[in-house]
Amino acid sequence: MPKTKEEEFWKACEASAANPDSQATLQSHIGNYQEVFQHSSARFRNLTNAKRKAHLIKWKAIENLDRYLVDFEANFTRAGGKVIWANDAAEALEELHKLLLSYQPDAVMSNHAMIHEEIGLPDYLAKSRYRDEQTDFGRHITALAGKKPTHVIQPAIDLDEEKAWALWTAKHPQPKASEQIIEQKADADDVESKSTEVIETVSDESKSFTAQMLEQFREIQRERVKLNSVLISGADYLTADSGSVVINESEGNERLHQAFCPHHIVFAGIDKILPSILDLDLFIPLGTLHDQGQHIQTYHTILSGGRKGRETDGPEQMVLILVDNGRSNLLAKTEQRQALYWMECGASSNACDIYGAVGGEAYQNVYPGPMGAVFAPHINKEDNFTFLDHAASFKNQDRPSPLDIDINRLLLKNRHDRIAESESANNPPRLWRWYSKLARNRKYLDFFGKGVKNMLIKFFFQKPWGEQRALPRVPDKSFSTQWRTKQKDND
């Protein structure tokens, strides 16, 4: 049984890579995304320049993070909102617990936001007396499957339509078409009405499983909105000059609950800040393109505090919990702080060969994919995720990030720091020191024959290499022997 996170990662990678069904579904989703992305990116006259401009805006925000966060708090509070600062995940949940005790709801609604997964919100609600209901369909399906999101934007990316339908119908049973017809059967003189109902039933059956599930999920949301009193959201952006919270979504269920819920609690990492509300003109189209390859997402909501004056909808009280959770430690690192520019769009995962081969579940991390590999070691100090520095690979030199983040350099810097910390702790990798000394002397390398070398390779590398692949074999003659033979022939 695997004992460490790294061992669990390699075990999960082996299982995922050997699962053809999961591979086919994941590759289909990624292939669709890449095709749509190529088509939609043409709407930018110069996408490279747009990404560079967004990079500079975010650089300005992060380099002046203290000032912009204070400006945001002042403007958000002036508009009627309340800001609570949380140093870590435990403190964030403690503040939430206090709020829920004062509200006393029977159930809460929550959207799909990675900050919720980061602080452990689903686990907290599962153990509490508050029933957690999802506004996001994909997150609802992963909850039915008893899994965590395997993609930043598409939580159920590794589930095909049939599996999702099976999970849905197990929780929400569907009457058969014949039963619907019998139950709705009218008297003999009501033939016309009966025919219409039969046609509607056939029409419903002709819809795809996904369309049926989304339609039914929307109806469920309309019923729940009448009973729900607390909505918990995750912010996409915070704008300092207007004190606004920006929430983006594709289904509209989040906005529906925002209109009717009396209490709205929002979580946001301190890195979500933007200097101005005018920056959304660039960030929203860029984010939408890299999220799902679309021109624009369907719903973008800008909130500044609770309901005011004669307004007839919106929450009576809006509270924002600002979460640090290791981001200040990352900010202190001059080179790696660029990771705080991350937009959480999933573009780096879609471009990563390793993610495409093993999926997000293998990472065992809240943030799967390359940017998660950059981010996780800094915000999860208690869990050793440093091995993820090697879990990223791109097909070309183009940076998949909408903010032009140099992910490869950040990963290399993480590796460099890990080695430096290991050496400073007087715990150098002795095996590799011994090997490097051996490798620098050709006489030592040629001392052993191919049989011994193959045995050593199998002993040390068979497990990480994987049972599904054959180990490379050492040739009969070493390179130096072949070189000397070739030189003699030339002479």
pLDDT greater than 60 at residue 412: yes
**What mean pLDDT do residues 285-295 have?**
84
Helix axes 47-63, 65-78, angle to 10 degrees: 80
Residues whose CB is less than 8 angstroms from the CB of residue 236 and which lie 6 or more positions away in sequence, other chains included: 246, 247, 248, 272, 287, 344
**Alpha-carbon distance 220 to 411, whole Å?**
43
pLDDT at 479: 77
pLDDT greater than 80 at residue 21: no
pLDDT greater than 60 at residue 309: yes
Q: What is the pLDDT of residues 94-131, one digit of tens each?
A: 999 999 999 988 889 999 899 999 999 999 998 988 88
- 341 token code pair: 């520019």
**What mean pLDDT do residues 18-29 have?**
80
pLDDT at 413: 87
**Alpha-carbon distance 359 to 160, whole Å?**
14
**What mean pLDDT do residues 342-358 have?**
86
Burial 293-313 (b: 16+ CB within 10 A, else e): beeebebbbebbbbbeeeeee
**Alpha-carbon distance 271 to 301, whole Å?**
19
| Of residues 220, 214, 231, the one with CA closest to residue 100 | 231
| Of residues 209, 205, 221, 211, the one with CA closest to residue 165 | 209
Q: Are strands 244-249 and 237-239 parallel, antiparallel or unpaired?
A: antiparallel
Q: Assess contact for 51 and 45: CB atoms under 8 A.
A: no
pLDDT greater than 70 at residue 432: no
Q: Which residue segments constitute the domains of the chain, with CATH numbers given?
A: 5-323 (3.40.50.10420), 441-490 (no CATH)
CB atoms near residue 6 (< 10 Å): 18
pLDDT greater than 90 at residue 268: yes
**What mean pLDDT do residues 32-44 have?**
87
Q: What is the pLDDT of residues 42-100, one digit of tens each?
A: 889 999 999 999 999 999 999 999 999 999 999 999 999 999 999 999 999 999 999 99
